[in-house]
Amino acid sequence: MSSYFSRLKQVYMGIIPIYPLGYIMVHGNFRIQYSTTKLVLSGFRGDQIWAKPYLDRSSMEPSEHLKELVEYEIDKMDRLRKAKFQVVLTDEMEPKVYGGLFLSSGAELQFPLRMTLDDVETARRIGANLEVDLGLSKHRRKVEVNSETGDELIARMMLSDAAKQFIVQRQLQIANSGEYFCAPILAWIGFSTMGYGVLNAVAIMAGPYIATAAALGFTLTTFSQFSRYFEGYKTTKADEDTIKRGDEYLIGAIDYFESTMKLNRLYRRVLGEEGEKRIARNGDNEEDTVKLSSRLREVRKLKKQMNQEEKLLNEQEENKEH
């Protein structure tokens, strides 16, 4: 038993580094490349075939207006004018961030297609047809642009300048946070270390095989629960941090959440039965960790709080003058 148990412990210990290494290779933009003179760490988030499944980039190029907006928002942030970043589009509904602005390899900022639509005519020129799905190709629906539904879909895809400004600044806040970048790695190491303790404890009572299964189950379950909690925390915290930077972001946040829920309600109608399963009547995506309606409520609460604080400050200033 001791021989088998020793091997199983080695297997478990060998599993622990897999997630951190994979995470760093994706987000840290590293790839080991051998040269005759040296070893080079170069782009792992490039156009390689193996990168496409997890990066999910769109083949469409972002507009110059979107690129300029990102540069404009970066200029507002302290000590980030020389940060490396890449602006790309994704077919997903929500924006994503890979890497970090504080890394030498920089950050990849992925924005949904609607962020690059500057006007209705531009949207019409992008393609003769639109295809809508919720991540499963078998539920894809083709929508003719030159139809009533197509017109409505294009109109709802359009975002105000304030909404775009909010999204860009929000993603920059995420890309510039060491906390958001490091937390998943530290959590995995912590839970897998605790799992090793479970492995040793259960082995005494139930044997090595059950102990190994229990340790793996504990690690994966606790990390999965943490990931869901942390994703919710990151979502709401990034919203709040962005909104506090100025009234223009507050207005943009409300515009973005309201327009996205309105667009989702149309998706629900277009996609039929699958749309009804995945999207609530109010426009919430059922799979989102934090629902759009909850985020919108929090923004409105924050708006009310900020207005009260501003009113209090004004009253204090008036009292000082008198």
What pLDDT is recorded for position 41? 42
pLDDT in tens, 37-77: 444 444 445 555 555 556 677 778 899 999 999 999 999 88
pLDDT band with cut points at 50, 70 and 90 for residue 132: low
Residue by residue, DSSP assigns 269-313 as HHTHHHHHHHB-TTS-BTT-SS-HHHHHHHHHHHHHHHHHHHHHH
> What sign results for the dihedral spanned by CA atoms 154, 258, 93, 303?
positive
Could you say which DSSP state residue 62 is in?
A: P
Q: Residue 311: its pLDDT value, please? A: 80
More confident site: 130 or 197:
197
- What does the block give as tokens for 168? 């860009």
Beta carbons of 232 and 255 less than 8 angstroms apart: no
> What is the full DSSP assignment across 83-108?
--EEEEEESSSS-EEEE-TTSTT-EE
d(CA 188, CA 184): 6
pLDDT at 239: 96
Contact 164, 66 (CB under 8 A): yes
Task: Answer yes or no: are the C-beta atoms of 283 and 264 closer than 8 Å.
Answer: yes
Picking from 22-31, 69-78, 168-177, which range would have the lowest pLDDT averaged per residue? 22-31
Residue 97: burial class (beta carbons within 10 Å; 0-12, 13-18, 19+): buried
Q: Is the pLDDT of residue 176 over 50?
A: yes
Across 114-118, 155-159, 278-282, the highest mean pLDDT is recorded for 278-282
Lowest mean pLDDT across 57-66, 177-186, 223-232, 306-315: 306-315
Arithmetic mean of pLDDT, 121-133:
62
pLDDT of residue 240: 95
> For residues 143 and 129, is the Cβ–Cβ distance under 8 A?
yes
Residue 284: is it exposed, middle or buried by C-beta count within 10 angstroms (0-12/13-18/19+)?
Answer: buried
CB contact at 8 A, 250 and 303:
yes
Which of 47-51, 210-214, 302-306 bottoms out in mean pLDDT, i.e. has the lowest? 47-51
Q: Which residue has the higher pLDDT, 180 or 8?
A: 180
Choose among 174, 256, 177, 184: nearest CA to 224: 184
CA distance 255 to 164: 9
Mean pLDDT for all residues in the chain:
83
